[in-house]
Amino acid sequence: MPRLFFSIELPAPVKERLLQVRASVAGARWQSSAQLHLTLLFLGQVSEGRVSELCDAARCLRLPPFDLSVAGVGCFGQPASPRNLWVGASPREPLVALQAALKENLGPLGFEFEKRTFRPHITLARFKKQRGSVAGLLEEYRDADFGSFQVTEFVLYQSTQGAGGSVYTVVERFALEA
């Protein structure tokens, strides 16, 4: 069964700027350019037979394109022992609306979703048990601007575990249109 999630792809210039935020930090597993994205909705394992149903429901969304700014570095967990280093995305409202619309369309089909509050972000690094401090990176990049772009589509990705971490393959792209 494929492991699936909906996401916003990032343009190459934004990814290039994000890849500059790297430092030698104990336990950090830095994301590659191909792994940088903004997750909208994680679905987990989905049977092959349900993928077309999932795509049909996503195609029904009618939301307008919107501008997105990528800026500011933060972390989940304490800076001295983080779980995740991330970059923020704003404005939040169109991202929250897109995620809510996906949930509304997919919920009646029996898909279940994470209960925690949606916090739009782009993961830069994940940390193993041995975690080094990211306090210096937070200070250096707290107000950094990594670029803006117009979001004109969202993507359904399949995630497969690989030797260098997860490998993401596009299953289908969905246009945003008013």
> 153-167: per-residue pLDDT in tens?
999 999 998 887 889
Full-model pTM: 0.93
pLDDT digits (tens, 9 = 90+) for 44-102: 999 999 999 999 999 999 999 999 999 999 999 999 999 999 999 999 999 999 999 99
User: Given a cut of 90, is residue 128 above it in pLDDT?
Assistant: no
- Can you tell me the distance from the alpha carbon of 164 to that of 54, in angstroms, rounded to the nearest whole number? 28
Please report, for the domain that includes residue 51, its CATH number: 3.90.1140.10
Residue 150's domain spans which residues?
Answer: 3-175
Q: Number of folded domains in the chain?
A: 1
State how far the alpha carbon of 149 is from the alpha carbons of 16, 48, 66, 159, in Å. Answer: 14, 33, 8, 25
Position 150 confidence tier, pLDDT thresholds 50, 70, 90: very high
- Can you tell me the distance from the alpha carbon of 67 to that of 156, in angstroms, rounded to the nearest whole number? 20
Q: Who wins on pLDDT, 89 or 128?
A: 89
Q: Which has the closest alpha carbon to 21: 146, 120, 167?
A: 146
- Can you tell me the distance from the alpha carbon of 82 to that of 138, in angstroms, rounded to the nearest whole number? 11
Residue of 121, 134, 155, 157 marked catalytic: 121
Residue 162 annotated among the catalytic residues of the structure: no
Residue of 15, 37, 126, 131 marked catalytic: 37
Residue 96 annotated among the catalytic residues of the structure: no
Instruction: Report the mean per-residue pLDDT for the chain.
Output: 94
137: three-class secondary structure by DSSP? helix
